[in-house]
Chains A and B, each alone.
Chain A
Amino acid sequence: MKTSRPVAGTLAVAGYIIMIVPILFVVATAFSAGSTLKFPPDGLSLRWFGEALSYDPFLESLVTSLQLAVASTAIALLLGVPATIAIHRGRLPGKNIVESLFLSPLIVPELVVGLALFQQLVITYNLENASVLLIGHTALLLPYAVRVTGASLANADPSLEEAARGLGASPLRTFVTVTLPILRPGLFSAALLGFVTSFNNVPLSLLLQSRDARTLPVTMLDYVQQSYDPMVAATSTLILGATVVIAIIAERTLGFAKIFGGINR
């Protein structure tokens, strides 16, 4: 941080403190030996981590959350990437409308989407909650898939694909050897953002839950309402740890600037 910008520097430090300090309290509480969620903790132990890792509802819902996050991210990318390419490279009539449509889940409140899906798909068409949850999460992630990969494409020179064609590459070959590599940083960041967004989502998951389709955050929320022991803090700490590990791997392999900037040059 450059000392030549004292106001911005101070604000940044304040921001970090506001974001990080509450998390540190949660982490500290997770190592408590006592049985209530309070700070400072009553002694130190790993007891609640053991409890969290052997608490079946958490484990089952973790599997559900992971499956849901992976599947909805994959489907959102499969739908979103061709749409992005059509929007940025094709001669699509009304491409602005198409793009707005794909971005609309970002604006419509998730509770409204959740309620609409519940009313229409679960009640009227009697679809399984798990499928509806997948549909809801996919819709939620589509804007990320379209926007983030779109940023990579928008930054890239459209002449690149023309150059490949001119040098003798078929449209398919051009897509594989030029367009996809250009998109790669965008795809990574869209996948990462999508995964995290789905994994952390509460409103949609809450409205569309059922006994066999309950995500980890919803289960945790449920648990906190009934009991007030440090197991939830331990679970949060484990999730935090996993996130940090993923972030470090992403940083080591690609670099954050590349992932979140979608930068190609």
Chain B
Amino acid sequence: MTAAAEFVEVSQKFGDFTAVDAIDLSIPQGKLTTLLGPSGCGKTTSLRMLAGYSAPTAGRILIDGVDSTKLPPEKRGLGMVFQSYALFPHMTVADNVGYGLKLRGITGPARRARITESLEMVGLAHLAASRPRKLSGGQQQRVALARAIAIRPKLLLLDEPLSNLDARLRVQMRSEIRRIQSETGLTVVLVTHDQDEALEMSDEMVLMRAGKIMQQGAPSNVFGSPTNRFVAEFLGYENFITMTDGSLHTVRPEHLEVAPAGRPVIDGGLSLPGTVTDVAYRGVDVLVTVQSTDPSGLNVTLVSDLRADTAPPVTVGDRVTVSAHQTRLVPIAA
């Protein structure tokens, strides 16, 4: 697997604040990579450094194997879609899409053909003559995408591209972006704080915190085997249990069974006694919170996410046994 772009010990400091802390990162060719993390984790700063809008204070950035650390954005040949879309208000949709083409010496019929092709890819060829402000948010987003892909970029960079759209449109645009990625074969880097978006869209997922990469890999690997507590918590693991040997394990709420006295518990796995402190009915499922003591003797709050139709009838104050299969226990670094 060749790298379309590479970060070599890249840091970015703003005064005393370290936004990105000596990260090494490899963006695989022809894949969709997401940079995921809470705000302030350095994901957007990393994307801006890759695009050339902000120079790293240390380290090197390679694009197609060429050291591009000092290249200005206009020499990098990357396509960027901004969170605000940044469509030129004084130009028509077609001129927005054609802006980068003119600068590449593509004019006349060739330019028009490429504009139409790019707009067709996002399904907006009929709006070529409109002004951006006449378009809906979703349409503006598509124009921004068309403008970025029209220049046949080495990489397509997307900065929180879906965060300004309503929920329904957001889900629709996820598959739209995936479709464009597979049709064009482009290498895509997408920044997001939404783990669902990252899990659904990525080939490769990079989880960041406080300027450092916490874990990188295919979504199913990262989701199934988080290596540290931060990643686990970020991806919705809520139960952290310390074993007698001091090792830390985590379990997803949906893998934790709750059984009142006399009901069967899962054999050969984790099994802890406890008291129900909260029951929250949520329609499809029900969340049961149990106060318990883990094998190492620490008090822990465990959360179990049960299917509402098969959940045992428990109420606050009930003595219960909480259990999970051995295979559901994920060992993590503290």
Is A162 within 8 A of B74, CB to CB?
A: no
Interface hits, B72-100 → A, CB 8 Å: 72-74, 76-80, 82-84, 86-90, 99-100
Stretch in A70-78, A127-135, A166-174, A187-195 touching the partner: A166-174
How far, in angstroms, from A127 to B303 measured CA to CA in the complex?
84
How many chain A residues have a CB neighbour from B under 8 Å?
Answer: 21
How many chain B residues have a CB neighbour from A under 8 Å?
Answer: 26
B208 within 8 Å of A by Cβ?
no
How far, in angstroms, from A164 to B88 measured CA to CA in the complex?
9
Is B86 within 8 A of A163, CB to CB?
A: yes
Closest chain A residue, CB of each to CB of B48: A162
Is B151 within 8 A of A159, CB to CB?
A: no
Nearest chain B CB to A161's CB is how many angstroms away? 9
Is A182 within 8 A of B74, CB to CB?
A: no
B51 within 8 Å of A by Cβ?
yes
Point out the residues of chain B lying under 8 angstroms from A169, CB to CB. 74, 99, 103
How far, in angstroms, from A166 to B50 measured CA to CA in the complex?
11
**Given known contacts A182-B90, A265-B133, A168 and B104 CB-to-CB distance under 8 angstroms:** yes
How far, in angstroms, from A165 to B73 measured CA to CA in the complex?
6
Point out the residues of chain B lying under 8 angstroms from A167, CB to CB. 74, 79, 99-100, 103, 147, 151
Point out the residues of chain A lying under 8 angstroms from B281, CB to CB. none
Is A178 within 8 A of B88, CB to CB?
A: yes
A160 within 8 Å of B by Cβ?
yes
Interface hits, B192-213 → A, CB 8 Å: none
Is A181 within 8 A of B72, CB to CB?
A: no
Point out the residues of chain B lying under 8 angstroms from A165, CB to CB. 52-53, 72-74
Given pairs A167-B79, A168-B100, 6 additional interface contacts (CB within 8 A):
A163-B88, A166-B73, A166-B78, A167-B74, A167-B151, A168-B151
Residues of A near any B CB (own CB < 8 A): 156-157, 159-160, 162-170, 173, 177-178, 181-182, 184, 264-265
Q: Can you pick out 16 interface pairs between chain A and chain B where the beta carbons lie within 8 Å of each other?
A: A157-B82, A162-B51, A163-B80, A163-B86, A163-B88, A166-B52, A166-B74, A166-B76, A167-B74, A167-B99, A167-B103, A167-B147, A167-B151, A169-B103, A170-B74, A264-B90
